[in-house]
Structure 1
Amino acid sequence: MPDEMWWFIGTAGALLTAAALLLRPGTIAPHDTVDPQIVALLRGGRRAAVTVALVALQQRGVVTNGRKGTVRADGWATAIRDPLQLAVHVSLRRPLGIRPLVAVPRVRRALDALRKRSAEAGLLRPDSRWRAARALLCAVPVTIAAGLLVAPMTASTTPAQPAVSALPVAAAAALWFIPRQTPAGRRLLVALRGAHPLEAHRTAGPRVLLSVALHGDAALLLHLPHFARDGGLLADGGQDTGFSENTASSGNPGATCGL
């Protein structure tokens, strides 16, 4: 292998090390109470958190179904103190579907604050570190490709030499699929699902919020079927996508190297 190529491999290794350090879970802060909106954020991302906020507002009687597939405000929000719920209610001056509602700037800022609280509690990897790590991982294959252009393989190259060049790219791919949730976040979801399985019968009150946060569409259809269907709250295909799948819940859709 040309000597120049080792320099590029070493650079890729340094990028990998920096990314791995950024992806380390943070300090876990003690939490005595569980916010259903944070639970929903952990399980299903931004849309799931807004869904729980809408359910909380519906339970208060200040939102209702609008036109088919939309939700609208139906009362004053004078007693609402939760930032996300307040942002959602203010944004419903006209009927909105849940997807455009999640994209409203005021709601996005409230979601960012909720995500920051989750990161401070050690349940999510912090946003700035997450994005920086993804950028470093994107740079790894670019670095190896640049090395191959500068110092291409020759006829005398042994089979082991291309494998050495491919190792940093394989390691970057493995790190790319580390979930946004921390191990503590995943343990919290597992523990809560064990302690609060989906109810067999419809219920009311605060239990509904945690049930929807943990069980998504199944809980919506059990406790609030008309509000869920008519308001367009059910996720497409019946599945929520969350941090564990590295999806748009990060606020950086897809977070691909091409963006």
Structure 2
Amino acid sequence: MDRLEEIAKNLDSKDKLSKFRDKFILPRDKIYLDGNSLGVLAKDVINEINYTIKEEWGNNLISSWNKSWIKLPRMISQKLASIIKSKKDEVYVGSSTSINLFKLIKSILQSNKSIKNISTDNLNFPSDKYICELIAKDFNIDFNFLDYGSDLMADIENLKEFIKEKRGIIVLSHVAFKSSYRYPIKEISKFCKDNNTIVIWDLSHSIGAVDINMGLNQVDYAIGCTYKYLNGGPGSPAFIYVREQELRKLKSPIKGMV
């Protein structure tokens, strides 16, 4: 055990990101490894929140819409686009992950009446599965569930056969929340395109933790949240990514400001 501690300390001393540790509030009595559930609090955020409550809301009230609030969705979308290496107009920030998945699948189905299958696998987060089941029922199409018999990693060959048999829409988590298994995103994205299937990637458990490149990995659609490894805090908004070429085909299922 002492040897492992020595190795860990040695790796920490060489970590180029170690200086950022002091920018966050961390528990004194534990090593926090649940960033996949809720990211830690950045120290600077406390002053920002206090200013928002006391000044922007407390004193400025509705004038804050025109001074700063109205610009925030686009500003944050542009910052998030730089993280996933996409064009700034390909990202929308707002709502929750489940609501965004619902809107995205519904938009795709409304633009493509030939789709007869919605699928996911057992490594995906349960709430994604619930949304897929609900939409399949609403649109009277088939919901399909692939169980690998393991919660640790995907059987890629099994997944490919499943995709070929159940062509339509499949929702996959880029990184599995139980094991941190990471899918070969480029390989699966290309395979889906070659087999007339639309894949929607849930980036909730990967964004902020691993390098993501939408263009390089041939991703057309993705969703995700910002309160995990992006440390957005409780209630921070989710996002949708749609490749520019696909964006022109879709219409928002909800009219107005969403």
TM-score, length basis structure 2 = 0.26
Q: Which has a greater percent of strand? A: 2
Rg (Cα) greater in structure: 1
Q: Which has a greater percent of helix? A: 1
TM-score, length basis structure 1 = 0.26
